[in-house]
Amino acid sequence: MEGMPDTQLFADVIGQDAAVSSLRAAIVRPVHAYLLVGPAGSGKRASALSFAASLLCAAGGDGTCDICRRVLGGIHPDLVAFEREGPWITIGMAQQVSLAAARSPVEGDRKVLMLSDFHLVKEAGPALLKTIEEPPPSTVFVITAEFMPPELVTIASRCVVIEFRPLPLEAVAAALQAGGVEAGLALELATAADGRLDRARLLAGDSEFGVRRRAWQAVPERLDGNGATAVAIAGELVAHLERSVAPLRARHEAEVAELDARVARANEVTGAKAGKRPAKTGAKELEERHRREIRRQRTDELRAGLAALAGVYRDRLAAGGPSSVAGDAVESVRLIQELYANLAYNPNELLQLQALLVKLGRQPARVG
């Protein structure tokens, strides 16, 4: 694994020079566990995948070989990714991680276990501590977390901790401009994505982004105190959430087509019958990753909509006026922030929005 990795890896990571330098240096003599800590959208996931590619590639990670491409696509059998299904990382998931850590690599002499959202480890931490502290020599853990809660401190002490900084909006906008996005739109997209480059890039290819944003911003003027109106608006917003995954689905279709083409080439080489996939092609892993990404996109879009809605009430508050209007605006923002914070606990988007809009509709202050 000697030699410098190619610049193809870590190419999607911006503004994290120190973190990337630390990961590049670790490729030569990796230890058993790395913890990447930083806010959502700061480049942790892209860095984790590039680091995993470097660890699994026999050439140290040139970024373009078949191994690297499969790792970056999340379909290499020696990259095992774990993501929570509910609001917390469970004991059951911890047991699955321990079992996976004990298995031998499939293709090479090393495997990488990538564990996401470990700031939500809670009571599963002790169950994972021994596995992460002393995994088999063939296993390397790459763990990501948004921050360091008390439950993660002991696990962190067994890892090499790599810090990721929040990305300035200007840096995200500059990256979009480098990709051909007009300057004014680039800053708007960076703001809407809350400084997350991955989401900003997705929005840049989404022709309905502005339509959805305006729909959320129009909600306060449409609320009339009638519950039926609130329910109808909530239904429209959920429909927007569903349409927001269209660019992601298009990308997924391209990835499936690429996998099918790779299988077809393998069939030609091995003489397998047409339509029969060779073992361990990564189809299941790709399907699972696509499902996680769609779920994450819907949650991201809902949070972005709530942020746009809260912005309308904050503008009213900043505009001044009677104390009753200010009080209603403050209460409306509080209700929106409460839902924003509790999204992980209740996956029913429609019911959550209906309840929120009914409450907002009871706030008497509206701008005529």
Same domain membership, residue 353 and residue 234: yes
Q: What are 119-171's pLDDT values in tens digits?
A: 989 889 999 999 999 999 999 999 999 999 998 999 999 999 999 999 999 99
Which domain-ending residue is among 141, 163, 185?
A: 163
Please check whether residue 172 lies inside any domain of the structure.
no
Please check whether residue 194 lies inside any domain of the structure.
no
Which domain-ending residue is among 163, 197, 216?
A: 163
- Give the model's confidence band at 5: pLDDT under 50 very low, under 70 low, under 90 confident, else very high: very low
Please check whether residue 293 lies inside any domain of the structure.
yes
> Is pLDDT of 273 > 80?
no
Q: What are 321-346's pLDDT values in tens digits?
A: 787 778 889 999 999 998 887 776 65
The C-alpha atoms of residue 126 and residue 154 are separated, in whole angstroms, by: 9
Total domains in the chain come to 2
Segments forming the whole domain that contains residue 323: 206-246+284-361
Overall average pLDDT of the 96-105 stretch: 94
Same domain membership, residue 32 and residue 97: yes
Please check whether residue 258 lies inside any domain of the structure.
no
DSSP class of residue 208? T
Overall average pLDDT of the 274-280 stretch: 46
Please check whether residue 367 lies inside any domain of the structure.
no
Please check whether residue 73 lies inside any domain of the structure.
yes
Please check whether residue 189 lies inside any domain of the structure.
no
Transcribe 73-85 into DSSP letters. Answer: TT--TTEEEE--S
> Is pLDDT of 368 > 50?
no
| CA nearest to 349, candidates 204, 245, 249, 208 | 245
- Predicted pLDDT at 281: 56
Question: Taking the C-alpha atoms of 17, 23, 28 and 29 in order, what is their torsion angle to the nearest 10 degrees?
Answer: 140
Please check whether residue 260 lies inside any domain of the structure.
no
Same domain membership, residue 210 and residue 97: no
Same domain membership, residue 217 and residue 110: no
